[in-house]
């Protein structure tokens, strides 16, 4: 039965994660017509230092700007 694996940054509070898992489960039951007790949600939290986008690690002070680049720029 469905196993939903979610990769996310660490730091979300327990209530947010609980509600998100609940909503993921609900929509899965409704869309796939599976029993509630057959849906598993796994939230895997990653430290920002283990997350990179567009070649920039998320701990970089300019991460938001740098992670939206569409072309590689030499230093």
Q: What pTM did the predictor assign?
A: 0.78
Q: Exposed, middle or buried by CB within 10 Å (0-12, 13-18, 19+), for 47?
A: exposed
pLDDT of residue 70: 87
Hey, where are the domains in the chain?
3-66
pLDDT of 42: 98
- pLDDT one digit per residue (tens) for the chain, 75 residues: 999 999 999 999 999 999 999 999 999 999 999 999 999 999 999 999 999 999 999 999 999 999 998 887 765
Q: Can you name the CATH fold of 3-66? A: Macrophage Migration Inhibitory Factor (3.30.429)
Separation CA 50–CA 70 (nearest Å): 21
Over residues 36-45, the pLDDT tens digits come to 999 999 999 9
């Amino acid at each position: 039965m469905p196993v939903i694996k979610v990769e996310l940054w660490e730091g979300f509070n327990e209530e947010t994660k609980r509600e998100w898992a609940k909503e993921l489960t609900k929509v899965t039951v409704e869309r796939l017509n599976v029993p509630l007790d057959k849906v598993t949600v796994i939230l895997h939290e990653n430290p920002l230092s283990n997350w990179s986008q567009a070649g920039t690690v998320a701990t970089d002070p300019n991460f938001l700007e740098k992670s939206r680049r569409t072309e590689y720029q030499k230093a």
